[in-house]
Amino acid sequence: MDRFGAWWWSSVIAVLLLGLEANAQLSSSFYSSTCPNLTDIVRNVIQSAVANENRMAASILRLHFHDCFVNGCDGSVLLQGGEENAPPNQRSARGFEVIDSVKSAVESACPGVVSCADILALSAHESVTALGGPSWTVVFGRRDSLSPASVTDVSANLPGPGFTALRLIRSFQNQDLSPRDLVALSGGHTIGQAQCFTFRARLYNGTAGDSIDPALKSRLEQNCPPSAPNGDRNLENLDTSPATFDNTYFQLLQSTQGLLFSDQQLLSGGQSELASMVNEFAGDQQAFFTAFANGMVSMGNLSPLTGSSGEIRATCRSSN
């Protein structure tokens, strides 16, 4: 091996070791001595918020997803005046005030200790379990970004409701997440609601390769007319049991009743591997729960700031 080859391999190994070291610093016991009641504190706030509005569980889960998919799980999506203004977030990211309440409660008990990135990861877990979803081991030790991601980074990394199956696969591959992670994490759409602007194109413009149940299309058109004052923000349930975390989402895809084009693409997008997993999860809720939990762990490990990187913000919504 020549000198350049040796240098190249040593550089690759160094990068891999740095990644392993960062993930190794994440631990379920990270706050065991500095904030031992963290889970109970977060659970109390989240359960209260979800009891007040069950849609909030989906909103908190989505915030965690949007945080991790753009430059890693670093709490940057929570910063004011930053990536919240990017098109994928501007009209639909919500739940910030709940995270503020969680952070306030945590700071009262454990000041200056717990990062907003970790609070968001744990809040997503508590939101899912509050509606009957699966549990997984949440690991901690993430630190907060000093600045938000750029609008360009947000738009380039977040998959959209108009994505085809192939674009979805590539989007997840770019995050080192598997097709199984893609299908399972998409199942998070078993809770919550979506605004009309996310699926209106399916109703009136038509989308190549789309499949949508005619009765569903007709019903959606009544709530989402072609043009109406503020009609973009009218809400539709993502599945027929939006307050229960279950596998109904996948069963609806089997009858072409997925709300978003990207949802239905998992079954109808010509990718047999994805379709097979949709059918598996439709018939086996436990298989879905296991895959979803595994996917959440993998997603939560995306490029965390650890050690002396970043900071521990006192207020999650601090202005950039």
Q: What is the mean pLDDT of residues 155-166?
A: 94
Model-level pTM?
Answer: 0.90
- What pLDDT band is residue 90 in, cutting at 50, 70 and 90? low
Residue 127: predicted pLDDT: 98
Read off the tokens for 165.
Answer: 């199956």
Query: Residue 310: what are its φ and ψ, rounded to 5°?
Result: 65, -150
For 269-308, b where at least 16 C-beta lie within 10 A, e where not — what string? bebeebbebbebbbeebeebbebbbbbbebbbbbbbbbee
- Residues serving a catalytic function are 66
Nearest to residue 247, comparing CAs of 146, 132, 141? 132
Residue range 295-306, pLDDT digits in tens: 999 999 999 999
Residue range 42-82, pLDDT digits in tens: 999 999 999 999 999 999 999 999 999 999 999 999 998 77
3-class state of residue 154 by DSSP: helix
**Cβ distance 159 to 167 under 8 Å?**
yes
Domains of the chain are 28-157 (1.10.520.10), 165-299 (1.10.420.10)
- In angstroms, rounded to a whole number, what is the distance separating the alpha carbons of residues 111 and 253? 46
Residue 8: predicted pLDDT: 43
Mean pLDDT is lowest, of 157-171, 176-190, 202-216, for: 202-216
Residue range 10-53, pLDDT digits in tens: 443 443 444 444 445 899 999 999 999 999 999 999 999 999 99
Q: What is the DSSP letter of 72?
A: S
Express as a percent the part of the chain with pLDDT over 70: 90
